[in-house]
């Protein structure tokens, strides 16, 4: 098996917790963060459910010590909070002591600020500085500034729902090829009216709690979140005597280009991504102990991913579950959210329940893990399947 790239720090903020410890506690207790919309002024307020973070922008700004005239989008605020927790968790005191980069991902970017000032854009010069934060790279730049690495390698990935998984994969490759000693990787996305309206148009939003891999699934719940991991080289870990939380041992990406907003019905992209990740890790399907599935609870995703899992694992499918019934689908941040959950599963030898499951899908006999389960884990596979057929798989080990 590949020795992998060391993970030495993690940070997260989501609808089920404001840090790693709170998220893990919610996972153990089966506590969902899904509720009716309360913080966004939208016509869909009473009709759909989402995973909202409890803090207002003002409270997040205060946590970061920002001045009142800042132009941080909510995506940037969430990302900075999670990234700073990851740095603290990795016990990094001088971030410039080693070649350090940031690879951040987002889909929504600064859309929340653009919405806020859209109609007044031409009325005041002052409004324009807010809309300057619209593009995806702005949140990455602001996170880099907060971390003190704005003069280093800083880049943004936006490949829909596989974005953060691709950020982790890219960071691991930069370390394995000796380009950097340390990379902070992950993603952030906030909720916005644009996102809600877009997914409503696709008719894949649920008006109740999402039910991954259930025959009667009605659609997904959108969520907002941010999560980052600190990846470090073996030489840095040895030199600094760093505590290792886990390793990125395998990764794979494939794009079947099946449809702009749907996955292949036979799971072609997901199958290729899992096979590539296993090959990079030097593992066989039988070596995987648990799958944290993408599992969005849409008709298309769960069918496609389920068929892909069967194609890769045959009749010996390991325990699997989706954690999106906890957080909602956090779009570009999803791969990083679930990477944190995968490492926590490995550290604590636990498999999370697939909440809200009742009825098996008629197309196959796969049944997700529905209760919290203790199990000795050595490897966890995590899928992230994006619009446009961009599918990514990560494999983590102790």
- Find where tokens 């009473």 sit: 46
Q: Which of 36, 135, 294, 391 is catalytic?
A: 294
Q: Quick one: tokens of 196?
A: 């809600």
State the greatest distance between any 2 C-alpha atoms of the chain, in Å, as a whole number: 63
Supply the DSSP string of 365-393, one letter for each residue. ------S-EE---SEEEEEEE-GGGEEEE
Q: Which of 44, 134, 259, 329 is catalytic?
A: 329
Identify whether 135 is a catalytic site residue: no
Q: Quick one: tokens of 255?
A: 């794009």
Identify whether 36 is a catalytic site residue: no
Q: Quick one: tokens of 282?
A: 């030097």
Per the CB < 8 A criterion, the answer to whether 226 and 67 are in contact is no
Instruction: Phi first, then psi: give them for residue 229, nearest 5 degrees.
Output: -120, 150
- Give whole-number Cα distances, 273 to 259, 280, 381, 383, in Å: 17, 11, 11, 8
Q: Which of 134, 135, 161, 190 is catalytic?
A: 161
Per the CB < 8 A criterion, the answer to whether 313 and 331 are in contact is no
Identify whether 134 is a catalytic site residue: no
Taking the C-alpha atoms of residue 93 and residue 153, their distance in angstroms, rounded to an integer, is 19
Q: Which of the residues are catalytic?
A: 161, 294, 329
């Amino acid at each position: 098996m590949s020795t992998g790239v060391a993970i030495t720090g993690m940070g997260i903020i989501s609808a089920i917790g404001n840090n790693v410890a709170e998220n893990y506690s919610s996972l153990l207790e089966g506590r969902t963060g899904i509720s009716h919309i309360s913080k966004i002024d939208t016509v869909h307020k009473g009709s759909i459910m989402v995973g909202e973070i409890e803090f207002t922008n003002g409270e997040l700004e205060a946590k970061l010590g920002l001045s009142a005239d800042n132009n941080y989008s909510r995506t940037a605020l969430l990302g900075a909070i999670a990234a700073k927790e990851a740095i603290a968790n990795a016990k990094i005191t001088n971030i410039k002591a080693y070649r350090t980069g940031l690879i951040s991902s987002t889909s929504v970017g600064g859309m929340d600020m653009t919405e806020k000032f859209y109609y007044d854009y031409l009325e005041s010069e002052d409004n324009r500085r807010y809309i300057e934060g619209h593009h995806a790279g702005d949140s990455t730049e602001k996170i880099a500034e907060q971390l003190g690495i704005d003069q280093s390698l800083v880049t943004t990935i936006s490949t829909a729902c596989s974005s953060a998984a691709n950020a982790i994969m890219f960071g691991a490759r930069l370390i394995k090829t000796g380009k950097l000693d340390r990379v902070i990787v992950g993603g952030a996305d906030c909720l916005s009216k644009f996102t809600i309206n877009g997914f409503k148009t696709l008719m894949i939003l649920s008006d109740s709690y999402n039910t991954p891999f259930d025959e009667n699934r009605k659609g997904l719940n959108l969520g907002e979140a941010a999560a980052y991991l600190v990846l470090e080289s073996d030489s840095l870990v040895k030199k600094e005597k760093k505590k290792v939380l886990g390793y990125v041992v395998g990764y794979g990406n494939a794009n079947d280009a099946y449809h702009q907003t749907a996955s292949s019905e036979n799971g072609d992209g997901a199958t290729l991504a899992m096979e590539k990740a296993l090959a990079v890790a030097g593992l066989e399907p039988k070596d995987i102990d648990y799958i944290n599935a993408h599992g969005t609870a849409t008709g298309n995703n769960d069918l496609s991913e389920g068929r892909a899992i069967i194609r890769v694992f045959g009749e010996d499918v390991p325990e699997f579950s989706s954690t999106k019934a906890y957080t909602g689908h956090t779009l570009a941040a999803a791969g990083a959210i679930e990477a944190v959950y995968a490492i926590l599963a490995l550290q604590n030898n636990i498999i999370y329940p697939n909440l809200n499951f009742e009825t098996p899908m008629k197309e196959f006999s796969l049944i997700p893990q529905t209760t919290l389960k203790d199990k000795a884990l050595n490897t966890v596979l995590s899928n992230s399947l994006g619009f446009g057929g961009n599918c990514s798989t990560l494999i983590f080990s102790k």
